[in-house]
């Protein structure tokens, strides 16, 4: 028989510790987020469907995005044992300078539509964390204002080569004058991908208001208050701001873009030049032979060509063939610090996060971006400790196996003469 007794009032506080309530609602909801998926769930609750779906969605059937995320889930790690991992250093060097963490913030368009602090929140959070911030040609904060928000940090600029070449050239000159150290020459957007979620939502700049929009806004008054009481939403680098996403992209992009354009921009740009959107080994080789400073293996977050190659699948082959001659970065599908560690192990020098940062932005502005960076940093550090490596340079292919779920079908030669 169990002997029971009533606890003494003086002993209750020794047995149970009461948690002090957090009175700040923003801090309370961000503290509750333990993963990027948690931030995504908060973002979805707080953001109108059109803005959330623009961030969350991909092209057509969204197969590229789903496959990219599945590729990271299909990773098997191989840890070492009995190594002292009490002091972990997750810092790295990329394109000639340091980064406190092995990831930076990817360029994203329409950012202030997600949450009105937009690129200012991203740039200032990146500066505080000691990582690079990338501004998109379709950003909603000017080149100069981003520089002012991150004056001591590393700012990178992503360039679309437009039909009106002079607009692109002027942006290159402005980014150089503002002290940006790296230019991302983007090559996977000759035309806009079919963003079906955006078409169904009537997503546009400025936002279109319909009965559905109004009904969707009722439970999210804070978003509309922010939107209506802050400066007008427009592209900070472009003069044309009206139309659907596809119309805007198609007016800005140019299907005639070529290697000649790359050479022109290369002559204009004084800093590091990186080509973003590489999706084949042959193109990686060609760009390396041309002497670019780096390449980003990317299918544009699954937002352009659906069924495009999975960058993480392509990474080991490209790293083996050209990794000694150019710096390789990877994006698309990264939702966990373990994804970042796996990418570094298979040959990436650096990684870029897009949606992960935007989920934090929508969940809580600048504080939400800080939280997203913190979550990923904690996951990177913990994964490194459990693999028992002390620095990112110690990571190698021996630490990771890419489990096979999608593999090319072997054709019978006799059937294809």
Instruction: Give dist(CA 172, CA 175) in Å, integer.
Output: 5
By annotation, the residues acting in catalysis are 300
CATH 3.40.50.970 fits 26-401, yes or no: no
Residue 19 has φ and ψ, to the nearest 5°, of -80, 130
Please choose, from the candidates 32, 21, 64, the residue with its C-alpha nearest in 3D space to the C-alpha of residue 331: 64
Confidence (pLDDT) at 239: 60
Instruction: Give dist(CA 198, CA 196) in Å, integer.
Output: 5
Please choose, from the candidates 106, 145, 118, the residue with its C-alpha nearest in 3D space to the C-alpha of residue 353: 106
Token pair 């279109």 is at which residue? 208
- From first to last of its 417 residues, the chain has per-residue pLDDT tens of 778 877 777 776 666 666 777 778 888 899 999 999 999 999 999 998 888 999 999 999 999 999 999 999 999 999 999 999 999 999 999 999 999 999 999 999 889 988 999 999 999 999 999 999 999 999 999 999 999 999 999 999 999 998 888 989 999 999 999 999 999 999 998 888 888 888 887 776 565 656 666 677 678 888 878 888 888 777 766 665 455 556 666 667 788 999 999 999 999 999 999 999 999 999 999 999 999 999 999 999 989 899 999 999 999 999 999 999 999 999 999 999 999 999 999 999 999 999 999 999 999 999 999 999 999 999 999 999 999 999 999 999 999 999 987 777 665 555 444
Q: Hey, what are 236's tokens? A: 């900070």
Cα distances (angstroms) measured from residue 416 to each of 80, 407, 408, 409, 411? 47, 20, 16, 14, 8
- Are the beta carbons of 274 and 163 closer than 8 angstroms? no
Instruction: Give dist(CA 121, CA 104) in Å, integer.
Output: 14
Q: Hey, what are 281's tokens? A: 């080994």
Confidence (pLDDT) at 405: 79
CB atoms within 10 A of CB 26: 14
Instruction: Give dist(CA 158, CA 301) in Å, integer.
Output: 15
| Three state DSSP letters for the chain | CCCCCCCCHHHHHHHCCCCCCCCCHHHHHHHCCCCHHHHHHHHHHHCCHHHHHHHHCCCCCCHHHHHHHHHHHCEEECCCCCCCCCCCECCEEECCEEECCCEEECCCCCHHHHCCCHHHHHHHHHHHHCCCEEEECCCCCCHHHHHHHCCCCCEEEEECCECCHHHHHHHHHHHHHCCCCEEEEECCCCCCCCCHHHHHHCCEECCCCCHHHHHHHCCCHHHHHHHHCCCCCCCCCCCCCCEEHHHHHHHHECCCCCHHHHHHHHHHCCCEEEEEEECCHHHHHHHHHHCCCEEEECCHHHCCCCCCCCHHHHHHHHHHHHCCCCEEEECCCCCCHHHHHHHHHCCCCEEEECHHHHHHHHHHHHHHHHHHHHHHHHHHHHHHHHHCCCEHHHCCHHHEEECCCCCCCCCCHHHCC
Confidence (pLDDT) at 417: 41
Please choose, from the candidates 153, 42, 151, the residue with its C-alpha nearest in 3D space to the C-alpha of residue 104: 153
**Opening angle at CA 155, ends 176 and 319, nearest 5:** 105
Confidence (pLDDT) at 416: 45
Residue 186: beta bridge partners? 276
């Amino acid at each position: 028989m169990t002997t029971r007794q009533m606890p003494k009032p003086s002993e209750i506080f020794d047995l149970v510790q009461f948690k002090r309530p957090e009175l700040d609602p923003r801090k309370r909801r961000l503290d509750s987020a333990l993963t990027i998926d948690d931030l995504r769930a908060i973002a979805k609750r707080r953001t109108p469907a059109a803005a959330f779906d623009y961030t969350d969605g991909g092209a057509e059937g969204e197969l590229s995005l789903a496959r990219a995320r599945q590729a990271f889930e299909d990773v098997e790690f191989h840890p070492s044992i009995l190594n002292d991992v009490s002091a972990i250093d997750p810092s790295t060097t990329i394109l000639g300078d340091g980064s406190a963490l092995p990831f930076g913030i990817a360029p994203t368009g329409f950012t202030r539509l997600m949450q009105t602090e937009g690129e200012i929140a991203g740039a200032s959070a990146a500066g505080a964390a000691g990582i690079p911030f990338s501004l998109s040609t379709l950003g909603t904060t000017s080149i100069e204002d981003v520089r002012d928000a991150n004056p001591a940090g590393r700012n990178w600029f992503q360039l679309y080569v437009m039909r009106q070449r002079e607009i692109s050239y002027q942006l290159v000159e402005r980014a150089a004058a503002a002290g940006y150290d790296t230019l991302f020459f983007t090559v996977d957007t000759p035309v806009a991908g079919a963003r079906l979620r955006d078409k169904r939502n009537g997503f546009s700049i400025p936002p279109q208001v319909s009965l559905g929009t109004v009904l969707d806004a009722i439970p999210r008054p804070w978003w509309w208050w922010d939107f209506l009481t802050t400066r007008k939403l427009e592209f900070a680098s472009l003069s044309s701001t009206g139309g659907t996403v596809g119309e805007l992209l198609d007016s800005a992009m140019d299907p005639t873009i070529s290697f000649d354009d790359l050479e022109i921009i290369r002559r204009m740009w004084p800093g590091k030049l990186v080509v973003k959107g590489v999706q084949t080994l042959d193109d990686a080789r060609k760009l390396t032979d041309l002497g670019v400073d780096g390449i980003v293996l990317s299918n544009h977050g699954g937002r352009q060509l659906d069924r495009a190659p999975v960058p993480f699948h392509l990474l080991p082959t490209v790293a083996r063939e050209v990794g000694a001659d150019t710096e390789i970065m990877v994006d698309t599908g990264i939702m966990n610090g373990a994804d970042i560690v796996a990418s570094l192990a298979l040959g990436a020098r650096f990684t870029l996060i897009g949606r992960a940062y935007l989920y934090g932005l929508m969940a809580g502005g600048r504080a939400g971006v800080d939280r997203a960076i913190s979550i990923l940093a904690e996951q990177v550090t913990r994964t490194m400790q459990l693999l028992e490596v002390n620095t990112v340079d110690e990571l190698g292919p021996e630490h990771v196996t890419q489990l096979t779920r999608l593999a090319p079908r072997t054709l019978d030669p006799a059937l294809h003469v």
